[in-house]
Amino acid sequence: MWINSIDLRNYVSGFVFFMIFILCMKDLIRKILREEKVNHVKKYFFDFWDEQKSLGDTPRYDKKMVKRLGFSKKQKDIMGYYREYMGNVYDLRKEFERYLTNKKEFTTDDMEDEGIYTGGYDFSFKFTYVFVREENNFVDIFVDFDITHGSVTLMTNGEEYDLTDYESIEDNLWYELDDEIKHLIQNFVVETANSFGLTPLDGVYVQWA
């Protein structure tokens, strides 16, 4: 049976068009599948941390921001994204140590920003030594600190004391203030460590420089 040349050309054209259509559909399906695999939450935070880094800031996990964005149920996942972004555990520990020691000073306002109630204390402080030790998946942090300037106003009588002149403070009162100050520093270190994904914490050991 002879095939008309016109019919043959139509058949070939139709076949070519059909193959082109199939290839286009395959490309479209691949594109859709790639888009479906994109983790938009992860991408958002990676972009956010990139922006922080570009501004010269140290990227940190901000639990308040996570809650404000409505991701309370994804906190564990987002912490995992943060650890992935920052690299291996060793780099994360060193970044935390540098963050505390490289900054000229912190203040009780920084503590308040972390949700730590500071009462009548108003002082600036710095870390002269920070070391993170990890054993059996538990983290211990050792810090030395010093108060650069500031004071405390007693809630009982309204008297104000210069915290850099502790020799002028009566011993019994200083023992009480010393314990409270160390507790504030410890809480600040804990909150900062949490923002670097350094968990679970086994102990935070604080002493004067």
Give 143-188 pLDDT, tens digit per residue. 999 999 999 999 888 999 999 998 899 999 999 999 999 999 999 9
**Same domain, residue pair 114 and 192:** yes
- Whether 61 is covered by a domain: the verdict is yes
- Reduced DSSP (H G I as helix, E B as strand, rest coil) percent helix, strand, coil of the chain, to 5: 55, 20, 25
**Same domain, residue pair 25 and 44:** no
pLDDT range class, residue 134, cuts 50, 70, 90? confident
Cα distance from N-terminal residue to C-terminal residue, the chain? 102
What is this structure's pTM?
0.79
**Same domain, residue pair 9 and 77:** no
Pairing state of beta strands 138-153 and 201-208? parallel
**Same domain, residue pair 196 and 142:** yes
- Whether 120 is covered by a domain: the verdict is yes
**Same domain, residue pair 51 and 121:** no
Domain that holds residue 139: 103-208
pLDDT at 19: 62
Place of tokens 């520093």: 185
**Same domain, residue pair 112 and 159:** yes
pLDDT at 1: 47
More reliable by pLDDT, 88 or 80: 80
Split into its structural domains, the chain has a count of 3
**Same domain, residue pair 139 and 163:** yes
CA neighbor of 131 nearest in space, from 94, 104, 164, 186 = 94
More reliable by pLDDT, 71 or 16: 71
What are the tens digits of pLDDT across the range 56-78?
999 999 988 999 999 989 999 99
SS3 state at 121: strand
| Average pLDDT of the chain, as a whole number | 87
The answer to whether residues 110 and 191 touch, using CB atoms and an 8 Å cutoff, is no
**Same domain, residue pair 15 and 4:** yes
pLDDT for 29 beyond 70: no
- Whether 3 is covered by a domain: the verdict is yes
**Same domain, residue pair 158 and 182:** yes
**Same domain, residue pair 153 and 193:** yes
Both structure tokens of 192: 């900062």
Both structure tokens of 55: 């501004």
**Same domain, residue pair 118 and 163:** yes
**Same domain, residue pair 172 and 160:** yes
